[in-house]
Amino acid sequence: MSNRYHLWVSGCQMNGSDARRLADVLDSAGMSAAENFEDAGVAILYTCSVRQSAEDRVHGQLGHLKSLKARHPDLMLCVTGCMAGVDQAELRERYPFVDLFVAPTEMESLPRLILGSTANRDACAPTSRSHGPRVPVSVGVTVIRGCDKFCSYCIVPYRRGQQRSRPEQEILEEVSSLLARGAKEIVLLGQTVDAWGRDLDPPRGLASLLREVAALPGLARLRFLTSHPNDFTPDLIEAIADVPRLCEELNLPIQAGDDEILRRMARRYTVSQYTDLVARIRATIPDIALSTDVIVGFPGETVEQFEHTLDVLRQVEFDVVHVAAYSPRPGTAAARKMVDDVPAPEKLRRLHQIEELQTALSTRKNNRLIGQEVELLVEGRQKGKWRGRTRSNKLLFLESDLNLRGELVTAVVEAAGPWSLRGRLETSAAGPLSTGSPGSR
Ligand code: SAM
Ligand code: SF4
Ligand code: F3S
């Protein structure tokens, strides 16, 4: 049992990508993944601090693990991710049964700490591995860590540290190995991914990295997220327009549609600077899919200021909007200097209003796709259907007896809802399903 590990991952894709890298190292050292905590000798929690609700989920999980640890004292418990990225004394006091707390900035030491522990020493005869286990069709690769923006509401810079770009060679090697193991789509990740390379010596830019990654053999599709509007340069628009494997899709958080709120959020752009950027992007790539993030109920946000956000959502017509109610994060400028004065029920009302508006806008947008041919990358099976994504990152479900996993196919959209599409297979080079059991993937 001691050579099996279980990863519990919450939060953003950054945690997902860190967890995958750890799993790779543990696998190559002879360990293997367990389905659940009960079957594991090592449990690692990738935690998130972005809102109080995210931290509450971790506290719930640790409550559950306390009794498991009491029954299995040999279980090694590690807590990493953003909650561990702070003075850990308080956590240690509250959870004395946790063996290890590892800050996200210290992540590199995690494999050594786990593999070096007495419980695992015997199990871990390192094996050399040229091609490791199979990976999902779409895989995220962190290219820039940390963040220097210090938006007034945000905990990330305090927990993930300064912005640090990974060197290009290291990224290309990781992507190549993922492609060799079956990945078809690579998503380059960072809190401000469009700032990639500025801190390298000599400085580099994301557009050139995208072009190099896109040229790697075996890659079907490339995406990147999250972009900060102030770091988004014209050469990125050109890259999306002329690199065929780079999908026409962007995650460009606006956060609020009111200049005064944006100023107090320390986002350092105005609504018109944001909408001008969108107009420039759409002038070159008219069908680009745009997703965004919005916070409602920021300190001092009046109903009128909130309505400015609704206006901008109507004007821009995003494909997807991720909306969150403001949650004060201890230590951030907003929590220190501003009063969290929008009552919780009012935050919820604003949140629902945005969701309702966006559901209508997304439905209308998706309905326009009915009857159209779309390029689909099929990721796997779900409830008896094949699940894939369009270039615009929309989910599409279709039925087929062929084995379509990892295939780029053409589908025709037959029906649309706000969150997904349904279609039929038009063309595919895939073989019949009988070669494998699709339900197990
Ligand atoms: N780097 C990205 C950006 O510049 O927008 C996103 C970072 S954050 C990990 C993901 C999202 O969480 C943000 O876009 C924001 O909408 C939301 N968020 C961050 N801090 C928050 C807070 N204190 N309360 C509510 N939502 C928050
Ligand atoms: Fe947080 Fe702002 Fe950095 Fe995004 S850009 S991670 S919102 S500080
Ligand atoms: Fe959460 Fe940290 Fe990501 S706070 S959203 S896990 S960067």
pTM of the model: 0.94
Q: Verify whether ligand 2 is closer than 6 Å to residue 97 (CB atom).
A: no
| CA 244 – ligand 2 centroid, Å | 30
pLDDT of residue 119: 52
pLDDT of residue 363: 97
Give which of 86, 240, 213, 79 is closest to 157, Cα–Cα: 86
Give which of 82, 76, 78 is closest to 105, Cα–Cα: 82
Q: Verify whether ligand 3 is closer than 6 Å to residue 49 (CB atom).
A: yes
Pocket test for ligand 2, best of 12, 48, 82, 147 (most atoms within 8 A of CB): 147
Q: Which whole number is the average pLDDT over 268-274? A: 98
Q: Is the peptide bond before 226 cis (omega within 30 degrees of 0)?
A: yes
| CA 160 – ligand 1 centroid, Å | 14
pLDDT of residue 428: 74
Q: Verify whether ligand 1 is closer than 6 Å to residue 227 (CB atom).
A: no
| CA 50 – ligand 1 centroid, Å | 7
Residue-wise pLDDT for 148-183, tens only, equals 999 999 999 999 999 999 999 999 999 999 999 999
**Could you give the CA distance from residue 158 to residue 59 in angstroms, rounded to a whole number?**
20
pLDDT of residue 180: 96
Q: Verify whether ligand 3 is closer than 6 Å to residue 85 (CB atom).
A: no
pLDDT of residue 310: 98
CB 152 within 8 A of CB 334: yes
Q: Counting atoms of ligand 2 from 1, which one is nearest the CA of 150?
A: 8
**Could you give the CA distance from residue 95 to residue 93 in angstroms, rounded to a whole number?**
6
Q: In this structure, what token pair is assigned to residue 105?
A: 């900035």
User: 417 phi and psi, to 5 degrees?
Assistant: -125, 180
Q: Residue 335: nearest ligand to its CA? A: 1
| CA 48 – ligand 3 centroid, Å | 5
Torsion of the alpha carbons at 64, 67, 69 and 73, rounded to the nearest 10: -170
| CA 334 – ligand 1 centroid, Å | 13
pLDDT of residue 431: 72
pLDDT of residue 430: 75
Residue-wise pLDDT for 187-232, tens only, equals 999 999 999 999 999 999 999 999 999 999 999 999 999 999 999 9
Q: Which whole number is the average pLDDT over 248-268? A: 98
Q: Counting atoms of ligand 3 from 1, which one is nearest the CA of 13?
A: 3
Is pLDDT at 309 greater than 50 in this prediction? Answer: yes
Is pLDDT at 127 greater than 90 in this prediction? Answer: no
Residue-wise pLDDT for 324-366, tens only, equals 999 999 999 999 999 999 999 999 999 999 999 999 999 999 9
Q: Residue 52: nearest ligand to its CA? A: 1
| CA 28 – ligand 3 centroid, Å | 27
> What DSSP character marks residue 216?
S
Q: Verify whether ligand 1 is closer than 6 Å to residue 152 (CB atom).
A: no
Q: Which whole number is the average pLDDT over 117-142? A: 66
DSSP assignment of 161-202 equals -S-EEPPHHHHHHHHHHHHHTT--EEEEE-TTGGGTTTTSSS
Q: Residue 51: nearest ligand to its CA? A: 1
Give the Å distances, CA to CA, from 390 to 189, 359, 370: 19, 19, 13
